[in-house]
A and B are shown apart, each in its own frame.
Chain A
């Protein structure tokens, strides 16, 4: 079955370290998204991509970057992790611009 997977599912890191969260989907969807979920804020969009070599900033993009070198993967990088980036991160993908979005299981990141 086609699916969307995130790794690692749980990570603890220290302030200032670089962290990369992986997202891989096997649906061949063009569109991929990264969200973060925090108490009191719901889910907020970090970055998104509408295809290979395309990346765009979302609502809360400061301190994060993404790259899209193939259809299946959209890794999220925190160049220098901060305690404010402690959160649960969700990756999502969708086939076309107005269709249904499907989410991965989430990655819980703790920055100490």
Chain B
């Protein structure tokens, strides 16, 4: 099955800093989503982005499907950005059967 690798596993930054989170996947995909798991455990949808670039406020994401990676950019970090960021992908057969990466734990210090 598809393998998903996220890097870095942990990231500690000061408020106001920018960050880039990476997601590599091992096969062609029809679905790629980025989630933020907040300290209360909720999974918040950030982007549905099987290809291309999207932006939402301070967050943006780019997926280069032909090279099998996706990047999540967070600019001007705030303490509320802390939590775990997951990349999840769905293959050509059964694109909604998402396979999750191990996540990047982001800590933003004031």
Chain A contact residues, CB within 8 Å of chain B = 31, 33, 35, 42-45, 48, 58-59, 88, 90, 92, 94, 96-103, 105-106, 108
Contact = CB atoms under 8 A, between A and B. Distances in A.
A99 B96 contact: yes
B94 interface: yes
Given A44-B100, A45-B99, 9 more contacts: A33-B96, A43-B86, A43-B100, A97-B96, A98-B95, A99-B96, A101-B31, A103-B43, A105-B41
Chain B's interface size range is 20 to 34
A88 B101 CA distance: 17
11 contacts: A31-B96, A42-B100, A43-B88, A43-B100, A45-B99, A92-B98, A101-B31, A101-B96, A103-B45, A106-B42, A106-B43
A60 to B, nearest CB: 12
Given A42-B102, A43-B86, A97 B41 contact: no
Contacts of A44: 100
A98 B30 contact: yes
B33 interface: yes
A42 B96 CA distance: 17
A58 B97 contact: yes
Main secondary structure of the interface of A (DSSP, over half): strand
A78 B3 CA distance: 28
Interface in B65-110: 86, 88, 90, 94-103
Contacts, number: 58
Contact of B98 (A88, A96, A101, A108): A101
A30 B39 CA distance: 30
A52 to B, nearest CB: 17
Contacts of A100: 33, 45, 48
Contacts of A58: 97
Nearest to A45: B97
A99 B42 CA distance: 20
Nearest to B50: A98
Given A42-B102, A43-B86, A100-B33, A33 B97 contact: yes
